[in-house]
């Protein structure tokens, strides 16, 4: 193993995939909406997304944010979606490969070539994307651990979420690099001793470069 690090632990949405904010054009096309119908932009235009700002202040959860957006888009297309997975399946379910970050592929290829182990630690992988989403992404077979709070009900930044993932890897926190796009989750990871990269969705190449550097690559 390179350096003193032996595992790369990734959040999923935003880190592995492009965010829903980045793919409005794909969503509008898939749902038959006029271009520009979806105006909320989260971290790409926080001043004009009051709901996002509320989430960043910890007034609402990330799950609540996306539930509100799901309901909003549901009304726009005349549906009655009750879960984020309904929205995601309709927006990108037929071609999920289009939303995977190319920087992600480059990073995990380099990591696995060096013998670094891979894990995913997500608060809502199957909750947001649906359980069948995984079957459409063969690269997930390369991940030794997929720890999903959809089933564990232990959400980051609860220390138990990180510790549970580390236990499955049978590694100490100092042997792992954790990558997430939410500051609260990075803060939680630091508290349990993980090396971290606060993923910048506006500069994914730089963030993956940081992770690889921490891995000694």
pLDDT of residue 5: 58
Q: For residue 1, what pLDDT band results from cuts at 50, 70 and 90?
A: very low
User: Which residue blocks in the chain are alpha helix, DSSP H?
Assistant: 24-31, 50-56, 62-76, 84-92, 102-113, 125-129, 149-152, 159-169, 183-191, 204-214
Residue 2, domain member (yes or no): no
Residue 185, domain member (yes or no): yes
Rounded Cα–Cα distance for residues 66 and 72 (Å): 10
Are 73 and 114 within one domain? no
pLDDT of residue 4: 45
CB burial of residue 194 (10 Å; 0-12, 13-18, 19+): buried
Dihedral of alpha carbons 160, 162, 165, 171, sign: negative
Are 116 and 205 within one domain? yes
CATH number where 133 lies? 3.40.50.1000
pLDDT tens per residue across span 18-27: 999 999 999 9
Q: For residue 94, what pLDDT band results from cuts at 50, 70 and 90?
A: low
Mean confidence (pLDDT) of the chain: 93
pLDDT tens per residue across span 27-77: 999 999 999 999 999 999 999 999 999 999 999 998 899 999 999 999 999
**What would the mean pLDDT of 11-17 be, rounded to a whole number?**
95
Helix (H, G, I), strand (E, B) or coil at 19: coil
Residue 147, domain member (yes or no): yes
In the predicted model, is pLDDT for residue 2 greater than 60?
A: no
pLDDT of residue 166: 97
Task: Note down the domain range covering 205.
Answer: 7-17+100-214
**What would the mean pLDDT of 133-162 be, rounded to a whole number?**
94
Phi-psi region of 95 (alpha: psi -120 to 50; beta: other; left: phi over 0): beta
Rounded Cα–Cα distance for residues 117 and 122 (Å): 17
pLDDT of residue 115: 94
Residue 117, domain member (yes or no): yes
Are 120 and 197 within one domain? yes
Helix (H, G, I), strand (E, B) or coil at 184: helix
Dihedral of alpha carbons 162, 163, 167, 173, sign: positive
Query: Domain tally for the chain?
Result: 2
């Amino acid at each position: 193993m390179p350096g003193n690090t032996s595992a790369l632990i990734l959040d999923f949405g935003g880190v592995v995939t492009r965010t829903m904010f980045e793919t409005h054009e794909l969503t509008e096309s898939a749902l038959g909406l006029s271009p520009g119908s979806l105006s909320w932009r989260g971290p790409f235009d926080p001043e004009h997304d009051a709901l996002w700002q509320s989430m960043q202040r910890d007034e609402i959860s990330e799950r609540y944010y996306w539930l509100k957006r799901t309901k909003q888009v549901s009304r726009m297309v005349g549906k009655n979606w009750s879960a984020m997975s309904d929205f995601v399946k309709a927006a990108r379910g037929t071609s999920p490969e289009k939303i995977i970050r190319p920087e992600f592929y480059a990073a995990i290829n380099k990591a696995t070539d060096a013998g670094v182990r891979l894990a995913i630690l997500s608060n809502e992988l199957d909750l947001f994307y649906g359980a069948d989403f995984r079957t459409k992404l063969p690269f997930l077979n390369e991940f030794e651990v997929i720890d999903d709070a959809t089933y564990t009900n232990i959400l980051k930044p609860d220390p138990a979420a990180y510790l549970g993932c580390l236990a499955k890897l049978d590694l100490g926190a100092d042997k792992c690099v954790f990558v997430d796009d939410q500051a609260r989750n990075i803060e939680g990871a630091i508290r349990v001793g993980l090396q971290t990269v606060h993923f910048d969705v506006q500069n994914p190449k730089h963030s993956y470069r940081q992770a690889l550097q921490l891995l000694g690559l």
